Structure 1
Amino acid sequence: MDPDTAAPPTVRTNNCPKKHTSKARLQNLLAQSSIHGLSRLHQSQSRGRRTIWWLTILIILVLVGYHLSILINDFMAHETDVDVKRAETRTLEFPAVTVCNANPVKKSALERLAPYNHLLRELLDLEVYGRTEPGLTLDSWISYESSERRQFYLSTMSSRYHQAEINCRRMGATLVNITTINMALDFRHAIGADFYLNIDSLQTDGVAEGRETPNFQKAESVTRILANLPEDEKMSIGHQVNDLIFYCRYNGRKCNVSAVFQHFSNPFLGNCYTFNADMRSLPATKLLAPMSGRRHALELGINIEQDDILRAAGGVPGAVFLIHSKHSTPFPEDRGIVLKPGLYNGIGMRVVEMYRLSYPYGECLTLDIDATERDAYISEPDASYSRLGCMKTCYQRYMIEICRCALPYYPRYGKPFGGRNVPLCHADNAKQQLCQKQVDLALAQNQLDCDCPDPCHEVVYVSHQSAVRWPMMKRMESTVADLKMSFPKQFGVTSDESSRDADRKVLTSNFLKAAIFYEDIHHEIISETPAYTVFQFVGDVGGMMALWIGLSALGVIQIIEFVLMEIFFKANHVFSAKVQDTVPDKVML
C-alpha cells in the first residue's frame, strides 16, 4: 500500500464502539424483552405511536402500583386461618383431676384449735358473732378499732353532712362532736343502716353502685384469715384427704387415696387434692386411658361433711372438680364445676389441643423467660404459662405498686415482683381497703395495663356433665351400712325407722359419686395457619405482573441482567479512565 494513501493512524480512546453504548444495550433489551409493552414501544416507528405506548405503559404502571399495594396490605395484615382436625390415636394420656370441698374449713377442727391461734379465734368469732370482733359492746369495739381507721371513717362523712346533722340533732348530738367510736355507732343508728356498710359506699365516692352484702364480706374475711395462716395450721382446719375422698377406682382397679392424690393449699377452697399430678417424688410415668367410656373412668366417692362446715365461708354444699393438664396450675375457684351431694355425676370429657401463631401473626406467648416474668404461678421448669395466672399476677403487681401492700391470697414473691419484701394488706386498714376497691374498679373498666396473651400451645379438656340420683333405692340400706362403718360420727347409732330416715338424709346431704372418663379416644387439634403465606404473595405478585404487563420470571431476569451489565460497563469505563490518566497513549501504526 502506498504510504501517501495509507489510512491515518488510529488513536485508542476511552470511547466505546457504538454497539456497546448504554443506549444500544437498552435498544437491545427493548427488542428482545418478553414484556409486551416494551417490545411494542421499540417496534413503533412513528413518534405518535411511541407516545401512545408511553402513555399506555405509564397508566399500566399506575394500575400495577395500586394492585401491588393491595397485595402488600393483605400480606402485612398477617391474618390467620383456623384448621380443625381429629387426630387418630390408640390411647390418650389421662389428665389431672383436682378435687376440693366447696367449704374450706371444718368447724370442729376450728373449735379444737382456736384457743391456740389468734387468727383462728377471729375466724371462730366470725362464725359465732358474724364479725371478727368478739361483740358489739362499746368497750370491746373501741379497743378493737384503730385510731387511723376511725379518723378515716369520720373524714368521709363530710359529703353527707347536712342529712347527718339533722339526724344527729334528733339525738341531741352534732356531727362535730362525733370524735369517738361510740358516737360513731350512735350515728350508725341515726342514718338507719349499717354504719360500716354506708362507709363502704362513701369510700368509693359514688363510683360503685350498691354495697357489698354481709355474706360477701364474711367470705372475704374468711379468705383473708386463711391466707395469713401458716401452711400446717391451714391444712389442719381443712378437710383431710381420707375424709373427703372415701372411694377411688381407676380403670376398674381400686387406688390408694393417700398415695395417688397430691395435696395443695388453695387460698379460697382450703385443702385441695390432685389425682395424677406431676409429682417430682414419683417416676415420670404417663397414666394412659386405654379406651373411652365409664368402664375405664376415674370413679370417686366424696364426703362433703355438710354438718361440719363453716357457714361464714359462704360456700355452697358440694365438691369442686377441675380437669386440667398435669403441667398446668389449677384454679378450681375460677374454673371448677360444683357437684351436689346425693347424685352420681358422669363427667365425659374430650381433649382439645390448640396451637396459636406468635408474632407477626398473633400475640401468643411461649414458656420462656418472658413468661416467668408475667406469671408468678410458674414454679416448675416444665410448668405451663396460663393467661389466668398472668392476670392474677398483674393484679397483684398493681396492688403492690398502688396500695403498697400485697393481697395474701395471690403470690407476692418471684420475678414479676422484683424480689421486693412487701407487707400484706390487712382487712382492718381502711386506706388499703379503699385502695383495693379502686384497683378493682380500674380492672373492671379495663384500665390496668395487663399484657397477658394466650399461650402458643395449650391443652384444654372440654367436659359434659350428667347426673342421676344416688344410690338407687334398692341399694340405699347397703350403702348406708357401708358408709356407717367409715363415718360412724355422721350417722345415728340406732336402727329404728326414724333413725333409718335420718341416715338416708345424711347420705343424700353429704355423699356423692363422680365418674370422669373420655367420651372419645380421639382428640381434636385446633391450629392457626397463615392465611397468606410468602409463596402465595409472590405468586399473586407474579400473576398480577403477567396480567398487566406480561412480566414473567424470565422478564425479571432480563431486567436484572441489563442492570448488572450496566453496572459492569460503567465500572469498566471508570477503571479504564483511571488507567488512561496514568499510562501515556500509544499510537498504533
Structure 2
Amino acid sequence: MFQTIINRDRVKPEDSSEKDNFYTNRKLQIQKFEDSRKEEIQKFNEKRNDLVKSFQANRSNLNASDFKKTDSTGNTTTVALDASFSLVDNLKTKKPKHARKLIKEKLLYWSSNTTSHGIPNIVRLDSKVLKITWLICFLASLGYCIYTIGIIIQDFLQFDVLINQQVVTDSPIEFPAVTVCNLNPFDRRNAQAYIDKTLEKNKISYVNDINKIDINPKLVNTLIKSSIKGDSNLTSKSIENIGFHIDYMLLTCYFNDVPCNNSDFIWRYDFDYVNCYTFNSGFDQYGNKVPIKKVNDAGSDQSLKLELFLGYDLTQSQYILNSGARVVVHNQSVDPIISSEGIDVPTGFQTNLGIKRSFLFKLDSPYSDCIKDTKSPDSHDSLYYKSIFTKLNMTIYRQKICMRLCLQDFILRKCACLDGSLPNIFVNETICQDIDSLECVADSRMEYFSSQESSSCSQCPLECDSSNFQMTASSSRYPTRYYQNYLSARTNILSRFPTGTSASEITKSTVLLNVFYEDLATTYTNEIPAVTPVSLLGNVGGNLGLFIGISLLTFVEIIEFLIELFFILFNKIFKN
C-alpha cells in the first residue's frame, strides 16, 4: 500500500530546484511512513501481549458456554477451543529446547569427555561390535570394583583392631605399692572379748557348740568379721586393735638396703583380713602426699624386704584355716581387691616375688564398649557406675568393683540383708550377722555364679585403660637354725611367745618377703584400628582407579553434571 502511494506522487523533475524539492518531499514521506509503521507495530505487539496475558489468566476458567454463538435463525454453534488456544500459542515467542533434550545433550557431552575409562569409548565409537565389547568390559570391571569395595567397607564396619606392643626400658622406675595382710584377721590379745561377745550373741560357746565350730570354722570366722563390719559403734581405731597391728607384725624392713619402719605403711580396712598395710602408697599415715619410691636396677638387691611375725600358732589360730600373709602388688592409683588379686605367702618360707609391669590401652566405641575416661562419673549412665563415685567415694572406676555390686544386689534380694565382704551402696540395709543369714549368703553366691546373672551385668562396662603387675613367686626354707638365733638375739620376737617357747617355733610364725623387679622393661599394649578411615579411603580410591579409572577429579565432573541437571529441572519447574 505504501509503495503505491509513493509511485502516485512521483513526478519527473524539470530542473535542479524542482529536483531538490522532489527528493526532500520524498524523504519526508518515507520518514512519515516509517513512523507510522513503528506506531502500528507497537500497538499490535501491545494488543498481542494483552491478549496472551488475558488468555493465560483465564484459560483454566473457560467453559463451553463461553464459546457458543447464536445466529439470526436461532441456531447455536460452538467455537473450537483448540483454534482459540492455538492462536494464542502462535503469538508466543519461539519455544526453547525441551528439558529432556537438554538433559540428553548434557549427558552425551559428559559421557564423551569424562576422565573415567571406558565410558567415552562406548559413546564415541561408531562400530556396534566395539561398543558392545567396551560396554561388557566396563560393566565387568564396574561389577568387580563394587564387589571389592563392598568387602572393604564391610571390613571397616566390623571395627576390628590390631595389637601393637612396645617394650620400653626406663631407669629409674617407680616402685609399685605393696599391700600386706595377715591371713589371721584377729589378734586375740585385744580381740578375744569382742569375739566372745559375738559368739555369745549367736548362742555359740567353746564347750557346747564345739562340734559346730569344728565342722564349719569358716562360717564362724565370717560371723565374727560380719559382726565387725555391721557394728556401727566400732571406730577405725577399735577395728585396727582387733587385728594385728603393723607395730606387732613388722620385725625388719629394708628398701634398697635402706631401713624402713612402720611409719612407711598406711592402714586400710579389709573385710576378710581386717588390718592391711600398704607400703609406698604415695601418702603418709596422716594422708599427706609423699614422693613415690623408685629403683634404679632390677634384681633382689633393689627390692622391698619384709620380715613379719604373724602370730603364735598355738594361741592365735582358732577359727583360722591357714597361716601366712596376703600380698598384693598394685599401682598407687588403684584400690586393690585383696581377696581376689593377691597371693598367699606361707609362714616358714622366704618368698621372692619378681614383678613385671604392663599397661593395656584399648580402643573405645565403636571398637568396643569400654570406658575411656574412668575418672569421670558421667562416662556411663548406669546406677552402679555412678555409685562408685558418689557413694563409695572412689576416684577411679573399676569393673571388678561394679560386678561385686551386682552380686551384692542379688544377695540382698535373696537374703534381705547385705554381704559384708562386698561394697555397699544400699542405704538403710543391714549386714547379715547371724548364722542363718550367712548360710543364705553362701547359698546365694553359689546360685549367682552358676546362673546367667554373673556374666550379664549390663551396668558394668569394662575400663579401656588398665595397669597390671605380673608376679613370679619362688620360695625357700626360712629361717635357718643360725638365723633363728640371730632373730632371737637382735629382735624382741621371743617376747611375742609364751615363756619357755623354743626358738624352733619361730619358723611357724614368721615369713620373709622379698619384692623386686625382674626387669625394668615395661610392656605397653595398644589397640589400633585394623582399618582406619584414611586406609579405607585409600583402598576404595585404589580400586576405583584400577578397575574403572575414576579419581577424585572424576567425582568433581559428576558433581558438575548434577549441578547442570539441577538447573535445567529448576528452570523447567519455574517456567511452569
| TM-score normalized with structure 1 length | 0.72
Q: Which residue is equivalent to 2:198?
A: 119
1:488 matched to 2:486? The reply is no
Task: Note the C-alpha offset of 1:433.
Answer: 4.5
Query: 2: distance between equivalents of 1:478 and 1:123?
Result: 46
- In structure 2, relative to structure 1, the CA distance for the partners of 1:468 and 1:425 (3 Å cut) is closer
2:114, 2:468 → 1: CA distance?
Answer: 58
Deviation of the 1:522 alpha carbon: 2.3
Query: CA 1:214/1:14 → structure 2, altered by over 3 Å: closer, same or farther?
Result: farther
User: How many residue pairs end up in the alignment?
Assistant: 476
Cα distance in structure 1, aligned partners of 2:159 and 2:493 = 62
Residues of 2 paired with 1:96 and 1:321: CA distance? Answer: 10
- Output the CA distance in 2 between the equivalents of 1:523 and 1:555: 50
What is residue 276 of structure 1 aligned with on the other side?
280
After TM superposition, the structure 1 = structure 2 runs for residues 379-390 of structure 1, keeping only pairs within 5 Å, are 383-390=395-402
Distance 2:448 2:393 in 1: 33
In 2: Cα distance, 1:105 partner to 1:123 partner: 18
SS at 1:25 equivalent? helix
Q: Distance in 1 between matches of 2:209 and 2:300?
A: 53
- Paired with 1:511 and 1:347, the residues of 2 have a C-alpha distance of 17
Q: Letter of the aligned partner of 1:119 in structure 2? A: T
- CA apart distance, 1:544: 2.2
2:412 partner letter: I
Q: Secondary structure at the match of 2:319?
A: helix
Taking the aligned partners of 1:17 and 1:309, their CA distance within structure 2 comes to 105
Are the equivalent residues in 2 in contact too, given 1:303–1:510 (CA < 8 A)? yes
1:121/1:438 Cα in 2 relative to 1: closer, same or farther (>3 Å)? Answer: closer
Separation in structure 2 between the aligned mates of residue 112 and residue 406 of structure 1, nearest angstrom: 25
1:392 counterpart (378, 390, 404): 404
SS of residue in 1 equivalent to 2:186 = coil
Aligned to 2:506: 507
Q: 1:267 matched to which residue of 2?
A: 271
Which residue in 2 is equivalent to 1:27? 108
Instruction: Report the counterpart of residue 140 of structure 1 in structure 2.
Output: none
Deviation at 1:303, TM superposition (A): 0.8
Report the residue type matching 1:540 in the other structure.
N
Select the residue among 461, 485, 488 that pairs with 1:477. Answer: 485
**Is the CA contact (8 Å cut-off) linking 2:411 and 2:418 kept in structure 1?**
yes
Structure 2 unaligned regions, length at least 5? 1-33, 35-89
Is this contact kept in 2: 1:350–1:462, CA < 8 A?
Answer: yes
Whether contact under 8 Å (1:471, 1:479) holds in the other structure is no
Matches within 5 A, 1:45-84: 45-47=126-128, 49-51=130-132, 53-54=134-135, 56-84=137-165
Instruction: Tell whether 2:470 aligns with 1:466.
Output: no
Query: RCO higher in 1 or 2 (8 Å CA, sep ≥ 6)?
Result: 1
SS of residue matched to 2:326: strand
* Matching residue within 408, 424, 440 for 1:412: 424
How does 1:359-378 map onto structure 2 within 5 Å? 359-365=365-371, 366-367=373-374, 368-369=376-377, 370=379, 373-374=383-384
Cα shift at 1:329: 1.3
Cα distance between partner residues in 2 of 1:510 and 1:124 = 32
CA contact 1:79–1:531 (8 Å) conserved in 2: yes
String of CA shifts for 1:515-554, please: whole Å, max 9, x gaps. 2112222211011111111111111212222333222222
Aligned counterpart, 1:291: 297
- Preserved contact between residue 351 and residue 459 of structure 1 (Cα < 8 Å): yes
- Superposed CA deviations along residues 173-196 of structure 1, whole A, max 9, x for unmatched, are xxxxxxxxxxxxxxxxxxxxx9x9
Aligned pair in 2 of structure 1 residues 281, 423: CA closer, same or farther (>3 Å)?
closer
2:219: which partner in 1?
217
State the 1:266 CA deviation: 0.7
- CA distance 1:227–1:287, change in 2 (3 Å): same
Counterpart Cα distance in 2 of 1:393 and 1:278 = 28
For residue 344 of structure 1, what is the aligned residue in structure 2? 350
Show CA shifts across 1:483-511 (max 9, x none): 3x244131655xxxxx7xx21x2221111
Specify the SS of the correspondent of 1:506: helix
Q: 1:374 to 1:540 in 2, by over 3 A?
A: same
Per-residue CA shift, 1:51-93, capped at 9, x if unaligned?
A: 5555554454443333332222211111111111112422222
Provide closer, same or farther for how the CA distance between residues 14 and 405 of structure 1 changes in structure 2, counting only shifts above 3 A: farther
Say if 1:477 and 1:313 are closer, same or farther in 2 by CA, change over 3 A.
Answer: closer
Tell me how far 1:471 sits from its aligned partner: 3.4
Could you tell me which of 311, 316, 332 is aligned with 1:309?
316
Change (3 A) 1:337 1:519: same
8 Å Cα contact 1:78-1:531 kept in structure 2: yes
Q: What CA deviation, in whole Å up to 9, does each residue of 1:154-206 have, x standing for no partner? A: xxxxxxxxxxxxxxxxxxxxxxxxxxxxxxxxxxxxxxxx9x99xxxxxxxxx
Higher CA-based Rg: 2
Deviation at 1:566? Answer: 1.9
How far does residue 292 in structure 1 lie from its aligned partner after superposition?
2.2
Where do residues 195-234 of structure 1 align in structure 2 (5 Å cutoff)?
214-229=216-231, 230=234, 231-234=236-239
Q: Distance in 2 between matches of 1:55 and 1:397?
A: 67
Equivalent in the alignment of 1:423: 430
Cα RMSD after superposing both structures: 3.5
For 2:327 and 2:399, locate their aligned partners in 1 and report how far apart those are by CA, in whole Å: 20
Cα 1:256–1:216, aligned 2, differ >3 Å: closer, same or farther? closer
Q: TM-score, normalised by structure 2?
A: 0.74
Pairing 1:123-162 to 2, within 5 Å after superposition:
125=204, 128-129=206-207, 135=209
State the AA in 2 paired with 1:245: L
Aligned match of 2:167 in 60, 80, 86?
A: 86
Q: Per the alignment, in what secondary structure is the counterpart of residue 396 of structure 2?
A: coil
Measured in 2, the distance between the counterparts of 1:472 and 1:214 equals 35
Partners of 1:88 and 1:543 lie apart in 2 by: 40
One-letter amino acid of the counterpart of residue 406, structure 2: C
- Amino acid of the structure 1 residue aligned with 2:256: N
Residue among 325, 331, 334 paired with 2:331 = 325
* Partners of 1:20 and 1:285 in 2: CA distance: 83
What percent identity do the matched residue pairs reach?
Answer: 21
The aligned amino acid for 2:188 is K
Specify the SS of the correspondent of 2:252.
Answer: strand
* Deviation string, structure 1 residues 297-330 (Cα, Å, up to 9, x no partner): 111111111424343132x111111000111111
SS in 1 for 2:118: helix
CA–CA distance in structure 2, aligned partners of residues 14 and 384 of structure 1: 76
Q: Following the alignment from structure 1 to structure 2, what is the Cα–Cα distance between the partners of residues 114 and 219?
A: 10
